[in-house]
Amino acid sequence: MKCFRNSIFTVAALAVLSTASLPAQDIKRLANGKPDLNGVWDHPRVGDMTKSSTECASGSPGCKQEGMAQLPYAAWGLEQWKKPVHFDYTARCLPWGYSRTLGTEYPLEIIQTPERMAILFESNNVFHVIPTDGRDHPKNVDASWFGNSVGKYDGDTLVIDSVGFNDMTYLDTAEHPHSDQLHLIERYKPIDANHLSYEVTIDDKKAYEKPWKNTRTFVRMKPGSELMEYVCMENNKDLFEGHIPLQAKP
């Protein structure tokens, strides 16, 4: 089970983030004039989406929850949060889910054309494709681990709207809950050629009484950077040696 990227990230991020002191460069653009986000991006580990930037990984750019000191739980969400035992699905190498994967310390690669964008995650080596050609969500969306996403532009900001999630994951490693009614709105906006503002709004009326936000900054890694292989089951001693039960979520 691959688990060494975190230490690498902490050291590498300090070097990569030093680009913040360099003069801003012109933002590259696609054929349609929209910002070109192609490349490998480093980003902070956000294990708890309610924490301030001082509690993010060392050397990380800002990651903070906006608007409230505590989450506005609805009754169902609070019940899930207060459960004494939570199901550890990631230890069984099940998908982490869209929101939680975006909060890992592992980099991601964006492959983008005017019509669509694909996010390749080093974490679990999974991918997510987002059409940006103006289409809406299908009328009947099957629930899935990463949901159904569509994107559109608001000026230079790419707005990604995602629905159709199952309820088998958490929003983050701190295990903040979400239901199958989860609606995510992400906003990607270039700061300069090497820095990307990221904002995500969590809208889940079953779990929370009102929407709440988390913001971060992504940093473009140097040319030639590549994602690494990630094999969850390799040396997964917790599972192989019986430290966690094998039964599925009740």
- Quick one: three-class SS letters along 159-173? EEEEECECCCCCCCC
- pTM value? 0.82
Q: Give a yes or no: residue 246 inside a domain.
A: no
Q: How many whole angstroms separate alpha carbon 175 and alpha carbon 171?
A: 6
Q: Cα separation of 181 and 58, whole Å?
A: 34
149 Cβ contact partners less than 8 Å away, ≥ 6 residues apart: 98, 128, 129, 130, 131, 160, 161, 162
Residue 249 within any structural domain of the chain? no
Q: First-to-last CA distance in the chain?
A: 25
The pLDDT score that the predictor gives to residue 24 is: 45
The answer as to whether 109 is a domain residue is yes
Q: How many domains does the chain have?
A: 1
Structure tokens at 233: 């089951």
In a domain, 248, yes or no: no
So what's the pLDDT on residue 70? 80
Residue 250 in any domain: the answer is no
- What CATH number should be reported for the domain holding residue 200? 2.40.128.20
Place of tokens 């039960």: 245
State which residues form the domain around 179.
5-240
Predicted pLDDT of residue 79: 96
Whole-number pLDDT of residue 25: 61
pLDDT tens per residue, the chain (250 residues)? Answer: 444 454 333 323 333 443 443 344 689 999 999 999 999 999 999 999 998 533 444 444 445 555 445 899 999 999 999 998 888 788 888 999 999 999 999 999 999 999 999 999 999 999 999 999 999 999 999 999 999 999 999 999 999 999 999 999 999 999 999 999 999 999 999 999 999 999 999 999 999 999 999 999 999 999 999 999 999 888 777 777 776 665 544 4
Provide the pLDDT for residue 89: 87
> Quick check: is 46 in a domain?
yes
